[in-house]
């Protein structure tokens, strides 16, 4: 029988904030939570009407053994009910702060990811041809996703070589000093964006820092990263450019002149991909094999 145990609480990261019961264009949806606009989306583009409710504690629960095909990390609310880290954790916390769900802790190599095609979208280890996937070397930053975002595979981005979205939530590279846990939810502020093109698909990398990091108050935009974390943006770009080369694949490419975009551009990416997610869960766009629960 697979092992099951509660391993962590994310309550410190998002407890005490406000979530929002949602309606999309006035029609109730099967969503418990949503992105409150918080001043980022212009009024004319808002998709939601929301009423605030107190955020329950969020816990993670392991099922199965790590580094096996059956291993899953599920997310639970304070009643013990499973929720989706992709759909049911709010994106925006106000004042330019966002929730970030950690899939891969820094200094580890197991390629963990939210299972977007499974019920409640738990975190699992990625596979290829039935075998567990690992990076060829450790990743040097906490890595994961922005909930309630989606890179639409039917949308060609004219600013990034017309590349189509990769059908996943937006990725985050968190540069703080602490090593997070799988399934931990951190409050982060975006600092920059890298437009990675992976086999023709656009795969945004939002560079961010946890608000709990000692240097968080010092970094507020892309130039601050170079000042207080010298060489980090280049290291992130080079790591994601080269990590497939040991497996015999070509290097990944980057749009936007091969340079990191600034914070405002990163916020624009977040806004647009949140809107795409809203259309997805509203079923204005075909979900294909993606789970909307």
C-alpha to C-alpha distance for 190 and 181, rounded to whole angstroms: 20
CA 66 to chain CA centroid, Å, is: 21
CA-based Rg of the chain, rounded to a whole angstrom? 18
Q: Which residues are catalytic?
A: 135
The answer to whether the beta carbons of residues 22 and 33 sit under 8 Å apart is: yes
CA distances from 222 to 92, 225, 261, 268 (A): 20, 5, 7, 14
- Phi–psi pair at 218, nearest 5 degrees: -90, -20
């Amino acid at each position: 029988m697979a092992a099951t145990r509660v391993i962590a609480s994310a309550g410190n990261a998002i407890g005490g904030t406000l979530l929002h019961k949602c309606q999309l264009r006035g029609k109730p949806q099967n969503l418990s939570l949503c992105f409150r606009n918080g001043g980022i989306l212009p009024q004319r583009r808002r998709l939601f009407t929301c009423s605030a409710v107190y955020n329950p504690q969020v816990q993670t629960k392991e099922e199965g053994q790590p580094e096996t095909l059956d291993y899953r990390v599920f997310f639970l609310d304070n009643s013990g009910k499973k929720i989706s880290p992709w759909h049911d954790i709010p994106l925006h916390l106000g004042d330019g702060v966002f929730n970030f769900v950690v899939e891969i802790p820094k200094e580890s190599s197991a390629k963990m990811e939210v299972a977007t095609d499974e019920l409640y979208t738990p975190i699992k280890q990625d596979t290829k041809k039935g075998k567990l996937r690992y990076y060829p070397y450790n990743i040097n930053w906490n890595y994961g996703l922005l909930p309630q975002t989606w890179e639409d595979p039917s949308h060609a981005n004219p600013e990034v070589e017309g590349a189509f979205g990769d059908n996943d939530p937006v990725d985050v590279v968190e540069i703080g000093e602490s090593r997070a846990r799988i399934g931990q939810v951190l409050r982060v502020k975006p600092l920059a964006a890298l437009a990675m093109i992976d086999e023709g698909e656009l795969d945004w990398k939002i560079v961010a820092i946890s608000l709990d990091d000692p240097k968080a108050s010092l970094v507020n935009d892309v130039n601050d990263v170079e000042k207080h974390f010298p060489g980090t943006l280049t290291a992130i770009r080079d790591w994601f450019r080269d990590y497939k080369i040991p497996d015999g694949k070509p290097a990944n490419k980057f749009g936007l002149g091969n340079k990191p975009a600034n914070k405002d551009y990163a916020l624009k990416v977040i806004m647009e991909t949140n809107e795409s997610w809203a259309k997805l869960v509203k079923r204005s766009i075909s979900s294909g094999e993606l789970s909307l629960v």
